[in-house]
Amino acid sequence: MLVWTKPGKALTWTAFALVFGVLVLAPFIVVIAAAFAGTWNGVLPSNPTVGHLQEALSGDELASLSVSLQTAFLGGLLAVVVGTWGALAAHGAPGPVARVADALHHLPIAVPSVVVGLGLLVAFSRQPILLNGTKWIVVIAHLVLMVAFSYGTVAAALQRVDPSYADVAASLGASPARVLWQVRLPMLRPAIASAAGLSVALSMGEVGATIMVYPASWRTVPVSIFALSDRGQTFTAAAEALVLLTATVLVVFTLDRLRGRAVEQ
């Protein structure tokens, strides 16, 4: 920062702490407090309890967590495969084709997720592909949304990789498949790993499209939270949110560790 005087520094730090504290930390703290609150009538919650947390970790709500994790891994990881493939294909394609592919892959980010969900619902509620009412429509919704992020991450990394690596590998007699598996993909491994982390994390929190398409049998945690809060069960919703938060942090942290290892190699 370009502030050198002591009072100037103190002032900027205070301003930063205030903004960060109020906008970023406060909601977290309030959610955590609410998760353990028996009642909350005054300024501070009272009658601390772990009852809500027990509720959030049992029956339907626990099933939601499992659903969310499965969806995130299936949808997120499929999205990484599709996104990486798309980015590689677009990179090798002639200019106009690459630009169209780029635009198409970014469409799901540009379009509101509710619209994406509605589109999928209408498209897959009739023959020939009838997916409405199955978990697959949720997975596909997540896949469609996360592909955009995976594609973006891998495409950006591809831009930075010098094409001479692949050229040299080919000159050494490697077939295109060998060049792909032994040179291009390993060199993209950090980007692919961070695309995976990003996709899974975003998928764990996705609600806009999911709420349009989910069947009763496949309800993700964010949808549960929404439903609970809608029914006025704010504290249980907060407890569920805490579970979601913890699960996401754990998953992302684990993926990040894997990524760290990939970079080290």
Partner 1 sequence: MTVQLDDVSVHFGRTLALEGLSLTVAAGETVALLGPSGSGKSTALKAVAGFVRPSSGRIRLAGQDVTDLPPAKRGIGVVVQQYALFPHLRVSDNVAFGLRAARTPKGEVTRRVAEMLEMVGMTSFAKRFPRELSGGQQQRVAIARALAIQPKVLLLDEPLAALDAQLRADMLGELQKLRREVPDVAIVYVTHDQSEALALADRIAVMRDARLVDIAPAAQLYATPPSAFTASFLGGANLLPVETFGDGVKVAGHVLPGVRATPGKELLCIRPHAIRLGDAGVPVRVIATQWRGSSNQLTCTVDGLPEVSVRIDLPADLQVPALGAQVSMVLPAEACSLVPAERR
- Specify the residue, 135 or 189, whose C-beta has the smaller distance to partner 1: 189
- Specify the residue, 175 or 246, whose C-beta has the smaller distance to partner 1: 175
Query: Considering the complex, what minimum distance in angstroms separates the CB of residue 259 from partner 1?
Result: 14
Q: What are phi and psi of 150, to 5 degrees?
A: -60, -45
- Specify the residue, 9 or 178, whose C-beta has the smaller distance to partner 1: 178
Query: Considering the complex, what minimum distance in angstroms separates the CB of residue 262 from partner 1?
Result: 9
- Specify the residue, 15 or 168, whose C-beta has the smaller distance to partner 1: 168
- Specify the residue, 190 or 208, whose C-beta has the smaller distance to partner 1: 190
Query: Taking each helix axis from N to C terminus, what angle separates 234-264 and 59-92, rounded to the nearest 10 degrees?
Result: 40
Query: Considering the complex, what minimum distance in angstroms separates the CB of residue 101 from partner 1?
Result: 20
- Specify the residue, 22 or 172, whose C-beta has the smaller distance to partner 1: 172
Query: Considering the complex, what minimum distance in angstroms separates the CB of residue 95 from partner 1?
Result: 9
Residues that bind partner 1 (CB under 8 A): 162, 164-165, 167-175, 178, 182-183, 186-187, 189, 265
Query: Considering the complex, what minimum distance in angstroms separates the CB of residue 185 from partner 1?
Result: 10
Query: Considering the complex, what minimum distance in angstroms separates the CB of residue 176 from partner 1?
Result: 8
